[in-house]
């Protein structure tokens, strides 16, 4: 009997181990590590020399040695991503019938209608409602952390348009669920689009979309020209509204539930940024739909492929898949990346290399957006026999919310006037700014989930499942990476530091992956500042920090340099990049290390010392035509705050001054004392900066 059932089993997904990459990565890591050991031996031997045998001061030698050690440690951490890279394939056509599929809640977070264009946000909402999934099992929540009337009114307009757009997508099997992309793209969608019926329907739908855009822009304009613009985004009550009105003049069609949520915010309460908003969504959604799975999206990440729901369900509906899979992470991809990608908007290393390796050693961490997660992983599983007061200490005083924890994901919303009103009143309590006081509500991360024994997978289909908008100027890029660096560093110097919080709870390779993430800003900014200044300042005083070209020890530095260059070039080329892509990646990494990583780390240190409060401004998503034009041409736009320019200008001036001074002095002195041979390594380092 058991053998018969096994024969009928057809997998919904497969995992491919990239054996060739494993061999290349491990062989390179072994050889490169040996070279680093020789470098360390060379540096250490300096301290055991007799003082009479050296004229080099100890301090600069020590500082450059520390910089090399920090950068080597950063490199060592990154090898964990290359230890066991895997890729995955899913078969959504093998899923069970629609009535057997579990329900899904979609969380869409927005925080500032001035920096996040309402038309783009509503396109994300509409594309989520058009996902290829049973509509009665799909529930879309829009989290407006600004509590703006603009977002609420625009959401209602999006609903009115979606009543026509969603049936249109279903009828003609559109594979482009985002209306803005569909109507602006020259590419032909799948399906039969030659008939006159479709052409007439498409024309009518395009007209409706133009009306939608005009109405949204009018709402935004009214907001900016009236007193509504003075609305305080950090001081407003909670608002929860189920937007489910149906047209009376037409036959009713099945539509996903659309809910607008704005939590209460007061200046006297710390709101915990996006994490706090997601916790409110988690509670409110449990009172209304209580779906066992959740899709989390940023407001500018529209659903590019409506089948992402079914692809993710291949892991949750497969009877042979372990129930310990907490979330399925999709990559962050962007539709406005230029050919040169001068700001590394593609996040190439993370999305195309690191996360595949992370997946091979236990699963990647949560990337902030584009992932389906099991609600049980966030809240745990409970029984009716558990002590009520213990649950209240963990999850707050609401009896109605506690009841949902033990109801096995039964939805609470009923399309009945009185019932709906009472339910929303209870949900508003859960969205109050003081609800989490005296409770143990946590702000979950992939790290805490993996530490509890949960697993995750990384799915990278050929067609991008979600597409967003990348930053197209240096200022916005720097702000974004400073915010990310601050978040990572705050983990590194907290009780959740992977090296302290992680051992014995996960594999050592996965632990190294998390350590790389947490310490990456600190290791990179400290080491790069050392390399950018110390050798150059030593040039002014003719202090040599590297061996002569004729010295056999020079080969150590040469091998490490060439090894790192060739390996990174190999990874860029094999993931679809070009030589100029590789050059741009190195350049923006060095710029980012001495600016964003530095300020992000500094922000956390000051905050820990009580000197300032961390501030996280949303990245500007409004596309400026001039910025976009320069970006498309591959030209850096350095119009940014002095904060970001000052470190770059300092490094450039020091490097130029050291190089010119050394060049002039030694040309005049005709290569005194074999200076060029002695200082070649240092001059080369100066030019690389």
CB 455 within 8 A of CB 363: yes
- How many C-beta neighbours within 10 Å does residue 367 have? 19
CA 587 to chain centre: 21
CB 338 within 8 A of CB 376: no
CB 525 within 8 A of CB 492: no
Check the annotation: does 116 bind a ligand. yes
**639 close to 487: Cβ distance less than 8 angstroms:** no
Q: State yes or no: 625 annotated in a binding site.
A: no
Residue of 90, 111, 383 lying closest to 272 (CA atoms) = 111
CB–CB of 448/442 below 8 Å? yes
Q: Is 585 known to sit in a ligand binding site?
A: no
**Alpha carbons 658 and 685: distance in angstroms, whole number:** 11
d(CA 512, CA 612): 31
Residue 548 in marked binding region: no
Q: Let me know if 488 is exposed, middle or buried by CB neighbors in 10 A (0-12, 13-18, 19+).
A: buried
Closest CA to 488 of 512, 515, 517: 517
Burial profile 438-465: b = 16 or more Cβ within 10 angstroms, e = fewer: eeebeebbbbbbbbeebbbbbbbeeebb
The neighbour count for residue 503, using CB atoms within 10 Å, is 11
228 is in an annotated binding site: no
Rg of the chain (C-alpha set): 28
Residue partners of 517: CB distance under 8 A and separation at least 6: 365, 488, 491, 498
Treating both helix axes as pointing N-terminal to C-terminal, what angle do 642-668 and 508-540 enclose, rounded to 10 degrees?
A: 50
Q: Quickly tell me which residue has 């490097």 as its tokens.
A: 655
Distance CA 556, CA 33 (A): 11
At how many degrees (to 10) do helices 508-540 and 596-608 cross?
110
User: What CA–CA distance (Å, rounded) separates 319 from 689?
Assistant: 54
Instruction: Tokens for 487, please give them.
Output: 């978040």
Place of tokens 């009376």: 248
User: With the CA atoms of 547, 551, 552 and 557 taken in that order, what torsion angle do they form, in degrees rounded to the nearest 10?
Assistant: 30
Structure tokens at 224: 């900016």
Residue pointed to by tokens 């992983």: 377
Beta strands 466-468; 333-334: pairing state: parallel
Residues catalogued as catalytic: 145, 442
In 3D space, the residue among 17, 239, 74, 38 whose CA is nearest the CA of residue 150 turns out to be 239
What lies within 8 Å, CB to CB, of 342 at 6+ separation is 584, 587, 588, 631, 634, 635, 636
- Residues of the binding site for UDP-alpha-D-glucose: 115-116, 145
- Residues of the binding site: 115-116, 145, 274, 298
- Residues of the binding site for Mn(2+): 274, 298
């Amino acid at each position: 009997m058991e053998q018969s059932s096994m024969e009928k089993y057809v997998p919904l997904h497969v995992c491919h181990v990239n054996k060739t990459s494993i061999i290349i990565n491990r062989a390179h890591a072994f050889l490169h590590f040996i070279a680093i050991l020789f470098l360390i031996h060379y540096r250490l031997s300096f301290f055991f020399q007799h003082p009479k045998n050296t004229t080099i001061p100890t301090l600069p030698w020590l500082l450059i040695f520390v910089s090399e050690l920090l950068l080597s440690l950063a490199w060592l951490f990154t090898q964990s991503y290359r230890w066991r890279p895997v890729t995955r394939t899913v078969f959504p056509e093998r899923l069970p019938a629609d009535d057997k599929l579990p329900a899904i809640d979609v969380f869409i977070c927005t925080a500032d209608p001035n920096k996040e264009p309402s038309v783009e946000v509503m396109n994300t909402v509409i594309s989520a409602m058009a996902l290829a999934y049973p509509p009665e099992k799909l529930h879309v929540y829009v989290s407006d952390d600004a509590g703006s009337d603009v977002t609420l009114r625009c959401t209602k307009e999006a609903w009115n348009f979606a009543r026509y757009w969603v049936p249109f997508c279903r009828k003609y099997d559109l594979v482009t669920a985002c209306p803005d992309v569909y109507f602006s793209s020259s590419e032909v969608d799948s399906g039969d689009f030659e008939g006159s019926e479709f052409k007439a329907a498409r024309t009518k739908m395009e007209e409706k979309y133009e009306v939608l855009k005009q109405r949204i822009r009018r709402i935004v304009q009214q907001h900016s020209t009236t007193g509504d613009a003075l609305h305080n985004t950090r001081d407003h009550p909670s608002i929860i509204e189920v937007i489910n009105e149906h047209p009376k003049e037409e036959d009713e069609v099945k539509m996903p539930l659309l809910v607008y949520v704005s939590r209460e915010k007061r200046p006297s309460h710390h709101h915990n940024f996006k994490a706090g908003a997601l916790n409110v969504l988690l509670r409110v959604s449990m009172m209304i739909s209580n779906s066992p799975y959740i899709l989390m999206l940023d407001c500018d990440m529209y659903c590019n492929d409506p089948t992402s729901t079914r692809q993710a369900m291949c892991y949750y509906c497969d009877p042979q898949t372990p129930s310990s899979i907490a979330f399925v992470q999709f990559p962050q991809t962007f539709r406005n990346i230029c050919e040169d990608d001068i700001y590394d908007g593609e996040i190439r290393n993370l999305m195309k290399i690191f996360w595949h390796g992370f997946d091979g050693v236990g699963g990647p961490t949560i990337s902030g957006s584009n992932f389906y997660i099991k609600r049980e992983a966030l809240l745990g599983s409970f029984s009716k026999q558990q002590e009520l007061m213990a649950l209240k200490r963990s999850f707050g005083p609401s009896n109605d919310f506690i009841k949902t924890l033990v109801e096995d994901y039964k939805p609470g919303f009923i399309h009945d006037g009185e019932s709906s009103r009472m339910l929303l009143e209870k949900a508003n309590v859960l969205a109050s700014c003081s609800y989490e006081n005296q409770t143990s509500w946590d702000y979950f991360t992939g790290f805490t989930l993996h530490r509890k024994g949960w697993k995750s997978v990384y799915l990278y289909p050929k067609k991008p499942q979600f597409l967003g908008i990348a930053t197209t100027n240096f200022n916005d890029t720097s702000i974004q990476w400073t915010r990310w660096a601050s978040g990572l560093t705050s983990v590194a110097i907290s009780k959740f530091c992977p090296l302290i919080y992680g051992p014995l709870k996960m594999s050592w390779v996965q632990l190294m992956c998390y350590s790389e993430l947490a310490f990456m800003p600190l290791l990179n900014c400290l080491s790069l500042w050392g390399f950018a200044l110390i050798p150059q300042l030593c040039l002014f005083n003719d202090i040599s920090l590297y061996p002569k070209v004729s010295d056999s020890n020079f080969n150590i530095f040469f091998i490490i340099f060439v090894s790192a260059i060739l390996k990174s070039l190999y990874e860029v080329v094999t993931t679809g990049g070009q030589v100029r892509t590789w050059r741009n990646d190195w350049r923006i990494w060095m710029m980012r290390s001495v600016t964003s990583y530095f300020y992000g780390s500094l922000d956390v240190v000051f905050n820990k010392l009580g000197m300032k409060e961390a501030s996280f401004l949303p990245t500007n998503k409004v596309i400026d035509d001039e910025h976009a034009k320069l970006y498309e041409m591959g030209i850096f736009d350095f119009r940014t705050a002095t904060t970001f320019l000052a470190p770059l200008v300092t490094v450039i001036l020091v490097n130029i001054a050291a190089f010119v001074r050394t060049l002039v002095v030694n040309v005049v002195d005709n290569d005194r004392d074999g200076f060029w041979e002695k200082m070649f390594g240092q001059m080369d380092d100066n030019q690389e900066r």
